[in-house]
Amino acid sequence: MNSRRVRRPGAPARERCVSSQRWGFLSPQAKQPVMQFHIEITCDAAGVSIKVIYRTVVDEMTPFRAKTKAGALLNLYAGRGANGARVLDQKNNELFKL
């Protein structure tokens, strides 16, 4: 039997498909680098002190994707009085403040 795969015209190559990364078809060297970001969901009480309601670490490829997750978490914790979110890098430098 021929070991060469036949590809349908117009079908994406397996190496470029997003699901191929998800299911591990690509080698570890071909995967995108991942960075860790810290997200803090805060409550600003009368403008004097800031109370951290929720804190998490997320693995994302870009800071903007971490900002998107921070926005989603801020909406989730709005019922508990959350009105602010911060995205920090690994060295605790503030990247975004929502």
pLDDT at 64 over 80: yes
**Average pLDDT rounded to a whole number, residues 53-57:** 93
Domain ranges of the chain: 31-97
- pLDDT at position 86: 94
- pLDDT at position 49: 80
**Average pLDDT rounded to a whole number, residues 65-86:** 93
- pLDDT at position 73: 94
pLDDT digits (tens, 9 = 90+) for 8-52: 555 555 555 555 555 555 555 556 668 899 999 999 877 678 889
CB 74 within 8 A of CB 96: no
86: Cβ contacts below 8 Å, ≥ 6 apart: 39, 40, 42, 70, 94, 96, 97, 98
Provide the percentage of residues in the chain whose pLDDT is more than 90: 47
CB 52 within 8 A of CB 81: no
Average pLDDT of the chain, as a whole number: 79
Q: Read out DSSP for the chain?
A: ---SPP--TTPPPGGG-HHHHHTT-S-GGGSPP-EEEEEEEEEEETTTEEEEEEEEEEEESSHHHHHHHHHHHHHHTGGGT--EEEEE-TT--EEEE-
